[in-house]
Amino acid sequence: MKYGEKRVLWIPAAVGIILFVIAASCAAEQFVEKRKGTVLHFGMMAGSYWDVPTGSCYEVIDAAIRRFEEKHPGVRVEYTSGILKEDYPEWLAEQILLSEEPDVFMIPAGQLDVLASLGVLKNLEPLMERDEAFEREDYYPAAWNYGNIRDTQYALPYESVPTLMFVNKTLLEKEHIKMPGTDWTWEDFLAVCRQVTKDTDGDGVIDQFGCFDYGWREAVNSNGVQLFEKGGAKSYFGDYRVEAALRFVKDLNGVNEGFAVTSREFDQGKVAFRPFAFSEYRTYKPYPWRIKKYSDFEWDCVKLPSGPDGKGQTGLDTLLMGISSRSGHQNLAWEFIKELCYEEETQLHLLEASQGMPVLRGAVESPLLKQVLGNDIPGNGNMDVEVIRQVMEEARETPNFRRYSAAMSQADREISSIINGERSIDSGLLKLQREINAFLRQ
């Protein structure tokens, strides 16, 4: 074969190789462009939502993102890091004004109704109805209902924190008093407070106390009262159970004989009881944080005592997540919000890496809860996990209508004057109910 003939044969082969390289390159570029074009934006705040020390606030989210991206090749999830809780509402508002809000985002406390009314949040009902793998009954009722406005679900719960009663075990043991059980009542609570409140050093001044920071809201919740109609159209402050709650708080305050107990007395181990968020327990029970906070006494948590018409229910604070109604990837956004709020692996990870509680029954009822609560807790300080399960099941959701915070601020002022004896309980509550109802109608 002549030299020229060899060259003719080589040219088609070279062209083929070049065309293959070009085609592969184009395919790679198209794949990259596809990845670049399918980006879900997520809005989150840095640090602890529950205002306690935390390690890596991104650990659970990053792990969930990795799993989601593995399930959805060609999709990336991006978020802006470092936005503090106190700055997050303003940041989110700016993004909304620019029509650049994330596809999925954490909802600041108290803003669900506002965002839903403005049309910013996607109504999740159609997405849930089409998804046969999704069951709303898998959530604890109070956590689920917090994302509901006017019988429409606009958000999924991600994490919750109930209120529990901290108990100074060392003080009770010194006074030969048993730890309260799950069925203790207001009468039991008041009796213990009276027993432990005393002058221990003989100087004529009370220096040991029954409780600190137990107020009318805790009493109302534990006595089975629903203060507002679900949509926030009217209030029920005139309910006889509210009156009973205020009378109990007055009796409880009277035990201290006018002494204003503060957190300082509790931190020093001089107070038997204090209502606290469960996130405080998760943070300060294990070593080494307990050494920095409450090192002078042993303590644990129990349910709040029950009123005569209640079950010792607690309010439940819940972090919600929603989908932007303007998202161009709403089906993907639904899958991602489920990865965060409905995937059991994510919810179990919260037990290990966060200070709150999962919102799924399956996660809270898993053996991992007992294991996590027992880690790094010295002695016999393991909390009864059945208490947590019972509290989560019976908890009351915080109302989420637009005027709730303002209405409760007004109620705080008026009820404070009632408890301080500036007006009678029955007439004062009826007056408050009329004023709150007028405010809600504005």
At residue 47 the predicted structure's pLDDT band, cuts being 50, 70 and 90, is confident
Separation of CA 291 from chain center: 26
16 Cβ contact partners less than 8 Å away, ≥ 6 residues apart: none
Q: With a cut of 80, say whether residue 51 has pLDDT above it.
A: yes
- Tell me, yes or no, if the two domains 39-159+321-374 and 162-315+384-441 fold the same way: yes
pLDDT in tens, 109-140: 989 999 999 999 999 999 999 999 999 999 99
* Of 40 and 353, more confident: 40
pLDDT in tens, 389-441: 999 999 988 888 889 999 999 999 999 999 998 889 999 999 999 999 999 99
Q: With a cut of 80, say whether residue 93 has pLDDT above it.
A: yes
Report the run of H or E that residue 419 belongs to, with start and end: helix 404-419
At residue 290 the predicted structure's pLDDT band, cuts being 50, 70 and 90, is low
User: What class, spelled out in words, does domain 162-315+384-441 have in CATH?
Assistant: alpha beta
Residue 141: other Cβ atoms inside 10 A: 16
pTM value? 0.85
| Average confidence score pLDDT of the chain | 87
- Strand blocks (E) in 220-379: 271-277, 299-302, 315-323
Q: Which two tokens stand for residue 306?
A: 């029950």
What helix, strand, coil percent values describe the chain, rounded to 5? 50, 15, 35
Among the residue ranges 73-77, 184-188, 350-354, 371-375, the one predicted with the least confidence is 371-375
The C-alpha atoms of residue 80 and residue 45 are separated, in whole angstroms, by 9
The C-alpha atoms of residue 48 and residue 88 are separated, in whole angstroms, by 12
Separation of CA 268 from chain center: 28
| Bridge partner residues of 163 (DSSP) | 277
pLDDT for 174? 95
Q: Where are the domains of the chain?
A: 1-33, 39-159+321-374, 162-315+384-441
Q: With a cut of 80, say whether residue 197 has pLDDT above it.
A: yes
Q: What is the CATH number of domain 39-159+321-374?
A: 3.40.190.10
